[in-house]
Amino acid sequence: MGSQTRTAALRPVEDPADEEGRADDAPDERDAERGAAAQPLRAVPLPALDRVGVVLVAHSQAVAESVARMAVALLGTGDPGPVATAGGTLDGGLGTSAARIVTAMRGVDQGLGVAVLADLGGSVTAVQGLLAEAEAHGLPFPVRFGNAPFLEGAVAAVATASAGGDLAAVLEAAEDSYRVRKF
């Protein structure tokens, strides 16, 4: 599950130095007299939104990171769902690394599933091998592999996951990007 928190200004505080505020959140006569809009608000931590994680697997870390940055930038909300990249080999070369893929999957897991997209054949084979022995590799559950174009699928998956779509919706959005014609 996610351990991150989000904050939102929710509650009037009688005195800005009083970090504890009142024991109860019910308004009293003083609130009505002063007007709630004139009172300072205190940020109250809220639990993180649990969302589907997205993992982008490529033969190059630079490619994976560029695609992730583009997908997040196109989202434009400043509040993307969890996205991780797994590109290249452990020594920084071209290829794939099972260790990087597993780390990325675990890193984005917030309890609602992980959608994985891959760029080329070797990445596809690496992900399929890991999923075939998911329990032995300690992968989060559920993890699903999307059959989608890498860039377009990533944009659709990140947008859908960020909007709170479930794992099936995230994969459907990514895979539907095959149907989008450019002209």
pLDDT tens across the length of the chain (183 residues): 333 333 333 444 455 444 444 444 455 555 455 454 555 555 544 445 689 999 999 999 999 999 999 999 998 877 888 999 999 999 999 999 999 999 999 999 999 999 999 999 999 999 999 999 999 999 999 999 999 999 999 999 999 999 999 999 999 999 999 998 889
CA–CA dist 14, 20 (Å, integer): 10
pLDDT the model gives residue 29: 54
Report yes or no: 55 and 101 within 8 Å, Cβ to Cβ.
yes
**Residue among 43, 38, 69, 55 nearest 119 (CA):** 55
- Could you tell me which of 68, 74, 51, 69 has the C-alpha nearest to residue 4? 51
pLDDT at 28: 52
Tokens (6 digits) for 158: 């990140």
Question: What pLDDT does residue 112 have?
Answer: 94
Sheet holding 83-87, edge to edge: 83-87, 53-58, 114-118, 143-145
68 Cβ contact partners less than 8 Å away, ≥ 6 residues apart: 56, 83, 84, 85, 154, 158
Domain boundaries, the chain: 5-47, 53-179
Residue 139: predicted pLDDT: 93
Residue pair 85/116 in contact by the 8 Å Cβ criterion: no
Q: Name the nearest CA neighbour of 140 among 130, 152, 125.
A: 130
For 147-156, b/e burial (b = at least 16 CB within 10 A) is: ebbbbbbbbb
CATH of the domain spanning 53-179, picked from 3.40.190.10, 3.40.50.10890, 3.40.50.510, 1.20.1530.20: 3.40.50.510
